[in-house]
Amino acid sequence: MMTLTEDQKAGIVDAAIEQIRAQAIADATGALAGYVRNAVSESLYVEVQAIVQAEIVPALREELLMKKPVLIEGAVMAASTMADQIARAMAESLAKKLETEWGRKGVFEALFGR
């Protein structure tokens, strides 16, 4: 078994202290970098939101208001088309039901004589 001298022990402790110090600095630097990234991201989000609310939304609203008659006309045409399609689908469904019911009536009449 080998015994360490006092100088060897001190050298090992000094090396360990240096490694711990270097790791602590690296950890602190990484944490600080993460904090800075988050702070920048949050600040940019706030700035972008301000620009969107102050400049983009009013410009879009103005554009939509200028095109309001066209938008209303398009919505009315779409509603009319949808109403026609719904009415056609309902009529087709009713016709199929009636056809099925008339077919059943014929089967019952043939089976039971009614």
57 shares a domain with 2: yes
Q: Read off the pTM.
A: 0.43
Supply the range of the domain harboring residue 113.
69-114
HSE at residue 51, side-chain half, CA atoms within 13 A, is: 6
pLDDT digits (tens, 9 = 90+) for 22-75: 999 999 999 999 999 999 999 999 999 999 999 999 999 999 999 999 999 999
74 and 37 in a common domain: no
Quote the mean pLDDT of the chain.
89
The answer on 86 and 38 residing in a single domain is no
Instruction: Tell whether 28 and 84 lie within a shared domain.
Output: no
Q: Please indicate, yes or no, whether residues 97 and 56 belong to a single structural domain of this protein.
A: no
Specify the number of domains making up the chain.
2
Residues of the chain above pLDDT 90, percent: 61
- Does one domain contain both 45 and 100? no
- Does one domain contain both 53 and 81? no
DSSP string for 41-94? HHHHHHHHHHHIIIIIHHHHHHHHHHTHHHHHHHHHHHHHHHHHHHHHHHHHHH
For residue 9, pLDDT over 70 is answered with yes
pLDDT top residue among 113 and 21: 21
